[in-house]
Amino acid sequence: MRTVGAEGIVSKRLGRSYPQGDWLKTKCHQTSRFVVTGFQEFGEGRLESVHVAEEIGGKLVPAGQVRFGFAGRGLWGVLAQLRSGEPVKGVIPVHPALMAEIKFYGRHKGGSIRDGVLLDLIRVGAVVGMAGKPEPRVWDCDSDAALAAMSAWSG
């Protein structure tokens, strides 16, 4: 689908006419790993978005923000411990010690990811980029056991 520039497939039931609706849109997506570089918050303890970057040519290049996949999971506490400076334009920087697996639906013209969803979060052994060997998962959007892992990691 992507090779022809399509975002996905729209389908309908056989024998149904166009005006009757009953359409299903199936979007293509990609999954990739990014380094968490910062976050924005609604207020203390409430995340608005997580900012991520990808390693290109040995440097971290901003890849956009993720706004889905972390509601109510206690991720703010993990990120707050990794703060590495004062907010810049509302984004609180963090030490690049976490790798996020993100599902996204293509990229904007500027290269940032579209509609990212946080699937998994892994602490990396090195504090610089993704070159470090991944350690056990810190957080996973599908696992309630992640809360226990975060508590143990935060100490």
Q: What is the pTM of this model?
A: 0.70
| Domains parsed from the chain with CATH numbers | 29-154 (2.40.50.140)
> Going residue by residue through the chain (155 aa), what tens digit of pLDDT does each one get?
666 666 777 787 777 776 666 777 777 888 999 999 999 988 777 889 999 999 999 899 999 999 988 765 578 888 988 999 999 999 999 999 999 999 998 888 899 999 999 998 888 864 433 444 445 555 444 444 444 544 454 44
What residues have CB less than 8 Å from 67, skipping those under 6 apart? 48, 49, 116
